[in-house]
Structures are given as structure tokens and as C-alpha cells.
Structure 1
Amino acid sequence: MPLLSTAATGLLAGLHGYIMALEMFLWTTPRGHKAFGLKPDFAEKTKTMAANQGLYNGFLAAGFVWALAHPVPAVARQIQLFFIGCVGVAGVYGGLTANRKILFVQAVPAAISGALVLLGL
């Protein structure tokens, strides 16, 4: 797997692992409040929903790790592109419907990573 594609995939895995931790375990803490601009009472009321969302981000992180670990480069590339596409679509949707910041945190890194993979870099 080319160096830049590998690095980008690793960064996406780390990003989505971090988002998972924020949503599943830190949602009702000051760190979670700051990361998502939440008021404590709202965070408490929505913690189950956030944990579910976090689980999905964990699946994305696991998919990126799978791509990095797969021994067949052509298959690893397909796995990368699938999960990058998932993040890109979710990032665009979230940016348009929830918070524009999501577009820059998720969709832009996915687009850059996708380009690196497609260019074989």
C-alpha cells in the first residue's frame, strides 16, 4: 500500500476512533460538551443516541484498520475506498443537515484520502 494512502487511512481510523470515544464515553463530560457544543442537560438526554452514533464511528475505524491489515493490496484498496466513501457521504449529509463543521471534519479528509488512494500515492 502506498505511503500517503496508508497514512491517510491511518489518520481516518484514528479520527473515527476518537469520535467514537467522544460519542460513546465522553458525551456527558466537559470534553464532550466542548467538542460538540453541548449543554449538560441536552447531553444527558441524548447520551444513548450519541453512544449509538459512536458505535457506527467505531465500525468505520475498524474498517480502516481492516484495510490497513489486509494482506492482498487490491482487496485492501477496495476496502479503503468503500469506507472512505461511507465517511464522505456521511460527512456531506451531516454537513448539510446538522452542522457545517462536519463537512470539514469528515468529508474533506475523506475526499483527500480517496484521491490519494485513487492516484496510487
Structure 2
Amino acid sequence: MELLGKILIGLIALEHIYILYIEMFAWETKGKETFKGSLAPELFKPTKTLAANQGLYNGFLAAGLIWTFFIEEHHWRFHVAIFFLTCIIVAGIYGAFTASRKIFWVQALPAIVTLVVLHF
């Protein structure tokens, strides 16, 4: 189960790096494709800076999860992973209520599953 937990953490970290990329560097191209229906097309240009800020936060979440791979002490590694996964879950639930339900399935649910796996 420990290996599965590490794999899931790695996948979630990669997902958040991808979100960072979309929000910081490809907001007006890939962002439009990703968030079509959630945001009017004419709003992508004026919200580019706001999206970049969001992307930076997603990068911090990814960095926190990646950090767990370098922590040798199991107890400390476990609690750091729980903290960052919980942050992702809260952000995903909030996003599902305020922006798009899809965010729950793409962001919160994988973190919930990973959190459960880590406890076994």
C-alpha cells in the first residue's frame, strides 16, 4: 500500500504541475479549452493575471507533495502528505461548489482516494 500511496501522490503532483502550466502559461489557449462553459471566452485575457496567481498556488501544492519523496522519516512524511492532500481536497470541494462540479472529480476525489490509501 505504501508504494501505491507514493504512486498516487506522484500522479496528483503531476496533475497540479499541469494545472500550474495551464493557469500560468497557457490560460488563453489551453485554459479556454479546459474551462469552456465555465468562463466566457472574452474573460480569459482580462483574468490572465488572476489565473497565473491560482497556478502558482497549484505549484505550491505540487511542491509540497513532491517534498514528501525526500522526507526519510515515515511519520513526518505521512503528516506532510496528509496536510497537502487535505489542502487539495478543500480546494477541490470549494471549486466544485463555486466554479464547476467537474473540479471535485478531477481534483478532490483523487486526493481523497490517496488519503484513504495512505491510512492503510
Match of 2:35? 36
Match of 2:8? 8
Q: TM-score w.r.t. structure 1 length?
A: 0.93
Q: TM-score w.r.t. structure 2 length?
A: 0.93
SS in 1 for 2:45: helix
Percent identity, aligned pairs only?
Answer: 46
Match of 1:27? 27
SS in 1 for 2:53: helix
1:99-114, aligned counterparts within 5 Å?
Answer: 99-114=100-115
CA contact (8 A) 1:67 1:76 kept: yes
SS in 2 for 1:28: coil
State the distance in 2 between where 1:40 and 1:47 align.
12
Q: Alpha-carbon deviations, 1:63-84, whole Å to 9, x = none? A: 0000122111111111100000
State the distance in 1 between where 2:108 and 2:101 align.
10
Count residues in correspondence.
Answer: 118
Moved more, 31-40 or 15-24: 31-40
Q: Which runs of 5+ in 2 are unaligned?
A: none
Match of 2:93? 92
